[in-house]
């Protein structure tokens, strides 16, 4: 597969495009390790659902793009081992050259492969799987199918979580969430849409422990102090959307 790649810059932000106007990644040049796009920040919401101790240790990302999520994990979760799967070697090269993607090391493995095939072929288990793969037409293809989500469920550890970026303006958005719910026995939820139109959905291999808004906001504050990432607005949006049923958020 060969992806047409374009790079643009505006107001101090460098953008990645796959041969169209759709933004596939972004980096603020003066803050290259920050998560510039709202949906990439929200993809880190799983960190609010468990105490910050030994989780997650094994992380898989499918789709590298501009490398924002990989850089954040590599820099701020030093105990985690990250495997990043990208279907196009050219995307990896561009991320390394223009977006400061770190090279492979003891904690970071880059695999050039089809993400669907990778999951089918591996017997590894992951604590967290992050899916963010689109083509130049903003289509996720096989990464948004019931068989793929069922494979993700099988490759998660017992406390494992999946976060996936869905394009919220797509008419198939609600169908995507229903596929997730079917694959994860109902343990899936879509967050309120970001300003960009992207929707982050979370799914859990088994029901997560209930987390009330005060506890989640405390975890968000601790994460901000540690990494600079502020997910307190995400907590507020979850509250406004009524996702703290019975006073607690759970999947």
Q: From the centroid of its chain, how far is CA 244? A: 22
Bond from prior residue into 91 cis (ω within 30 degrees of 0): no
Query: What token pair was written down for 210?
Result: 């209930």
HEC secondary structure over the chain: CCCCCEEEEECCEEEEECCCCCEEEEEECCECCCCCCHHHHHCCHHHHCCCCCCCCCEEEEECCCCCHHHHHHHHHCCCCEEEEEECCHHHHHHHHHHCCCCCCECCEEEEECCHHHHHHHCCCCEEEEEECCCCCCCCCHHHHCHHHHHHHHHCEEEEEEEEEEEECCCCCHHHHHHHHHHHCCCCEEECCCCCCCEEEEEEECCCCCCEEHHHHHHHHHHHHHHHCCCCHHHHHHHHHCCCCHHHEECC
How many CA atoms does the CB half-sphere of 6 hold within 13 Å? 10
Name residue, tokens 């970026």. 165
Catalytic residue IDs? 132
| CA dist., res. 7 & res. 23, Å (int) | 10
């Amino acid at each position: 597969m060969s992806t047409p790649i374009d790079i643009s810059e505006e107001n101090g932000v460098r953008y990645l495009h796959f041969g169209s106007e759709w933004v596939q990644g972004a980096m603020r040049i003066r803050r290259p390790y920050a998560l510039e796009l709202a949906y990439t920040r929200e993809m880190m919401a799983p960190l609010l659902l468990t105490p910050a101790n030994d989780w997650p240790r094994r992380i898989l990302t499918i789709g590298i793009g501009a490398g924002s999520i990989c850089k954040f994990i590599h820099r701020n979760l030093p105990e985690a081992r990250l495997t990043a799967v990208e279907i196009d070697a050219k995307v990896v090269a561009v991320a390394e050259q223009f977006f400061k993607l770190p090279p492979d090391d003891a904690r970071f493995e880059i695999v050039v492969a089809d993400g669907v095939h990778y999951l089918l072929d591996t017997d590894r288990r992951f604590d967290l799987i992050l899916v963010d793969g689109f083509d130049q037409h903003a289509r996720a293809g096989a990464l948004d199918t019931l068989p793929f989500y069922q494979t993700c469920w099988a490759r998660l550890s017992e406390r494992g979580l999946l976060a996936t970026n869905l394009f919220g303006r797509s008419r198939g958005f609600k169908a995507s969430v229903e596929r997730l719910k079917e694959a994860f026995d109902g343990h899936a939820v879509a967050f309120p849409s970001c300003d960009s139109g992207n929707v982050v959905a979370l799914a859990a291999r088994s029901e997560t422990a209930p987390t009330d808004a005060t506890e989640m906001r405390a975890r968000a504050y601790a994460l901000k102090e540690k990494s600079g990432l502020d997910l307190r607005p995400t907590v507020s949006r979850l509250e406004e959307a009524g996702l703290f049923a019975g006073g607690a958020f759970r999947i």
